[in-house]
Structure 1
C-alpha cells in the first residue's frame, strides 16, 4: 500500500484508517482478479489495477478513492442485492452480464460477481468488497457428464401440465422430480442437487422468477428454464441467466432447449 498514490483519496491520512480497511486494501491490491471496494455509506470507491484495466472507465487509475458521480456497473446493476450485502450477506451471482465502456463503445461482458461485507471492529458492515471473476461454465452433474442424463426439478401447479412435461422429460432419459409451488421447490433444493430447474412463471405464492433467483443462490450450477403462457416480457429483464419457453410447446422444442443446456 505504501507504493500507491493516495493523494486523491477521500479516506484521509492513512494513520487514521481502521484495521479492516488496511487489511482489505492489502488483499485487494495484491490480487490479480478485478476487485473494487465501496467504503462507507458515502460509497468511496477503491480498486486494484486489474479492475482499472478490465472493467474500469478509460480514466480509471488505481487505487481510486473518490465517491463516483456515476456508480460502476458492478455496483449499480442490482441495488437490492447491494443492500443485502450492506445488511451483512455474502452473495454470489454467477455469469452476470455487465455493460462496460471499452474501446470507445459500450460492451457486455459476463462475470461471476462475489460481494463480501467488510466489518469494522464493532462488527458493523463498513464496506463491501466486490470481486469480478471470469464467468464460470455451468457444470453438469456426474451423471449428466457420463451419459447425458440430467436431474431436473419441475415446478408446475397445473397437474395435467406437470404430468405431461415430466413424462416427456423421462422419455428423454432424464431423472425428474416435480412439485407444485416455489416454496416446495426450495425445500427440495435444500436437500438435493439438480442440473435444471424447469418452472412455470406464474405460480401460487412465490413467482417462478423469484424461485429462480433464490434457487441460483442455493445452487449456482443450476440451469433455469421458464415456461409461460404469457408474454415473454415477464422474463425479458432478469438479473440472472435463464432460458424462456412460450407455452404451448411441443416435444421437439423441449428437446432443443435441453440440448442447448449441455
Structure 2
C-alpha cells in the first residue's frame, strides 16, 4: 500500500460559517462527497450547487483563475459565469439535465490568454434530481501524449455498492485519462469481466452477496491477467493470508493513493510487455 503523507485538504479544512452553505454537517451527502473529492484532487475543479448556485473551487482552480476568483471555497456565482462554465454552456446545461459530458480542448481564458483543457461535467444526483454539477479541467489528450502519458491505457472495473462513491470515482478516473466502468454487485462485476477486457479490478472488500476477496479470487481464476486493488474500511485484517498478489487502500483513501497504485500497475504491464 502506498505510504500516505500529510492529511489532504477536505471539507473540514475550511471555515464555512460565512458561506451560503453553512455547517457541512447539514450538507447533503452527494455535496459533501463531491467537495471532499474536489479538494483532494490535483486537477483544477469547480462545483456548482443549487439552481441559483453557490460555487466551490479547489486551490488548483484558484491558482489558475488568479486574484479575480477567490481561492477560499464557497461563494455565490458572479454575474459573469466562471470561464469554464461560460465557454461550455451547452455542456453545463446538459449536466444540469443529468448527462455527464466532456468538452475536448476547450479554450478557457482566465485573463492572461486562452489555454486548452478537456472539461468534464459531472451531474450530482440528490433527492431524486440534480443538486449540482462538478467541473474538472483536465489536460487535453494531446497534451498528455506530448508529456509522455498514455491516456486510456488502463481499463478499470470499479466495484462499489455506494452508488455516489462509485459514480464519482469513475468520473475522476476518466478525467485522469483511464477507462472506467462501475458496478455495485459482484454478479454484475463478473458479467462485465466476461463482456470486455479489463486490466484492473478495483473492488471494495465488503459487498452484497459476495465479499470483494471472493470476487477477486473467482475473477482471477477466470482472468489471471487481472491486477487487483482492494478498498477496505477494515485495514489489511481480512487480506493477510491471500494467495494472490494485490494492492490495498485504506478507506477513506486519497485519490493520489489510487493514482499511485494504478501507476504501479502501469509499470508492471509495461515491464511484462
TM bracket (short chain): 0.3 to 0.5
Higher gyration radius (CA):
1
TM-score of the pair, normalised by structure 2? 0.46
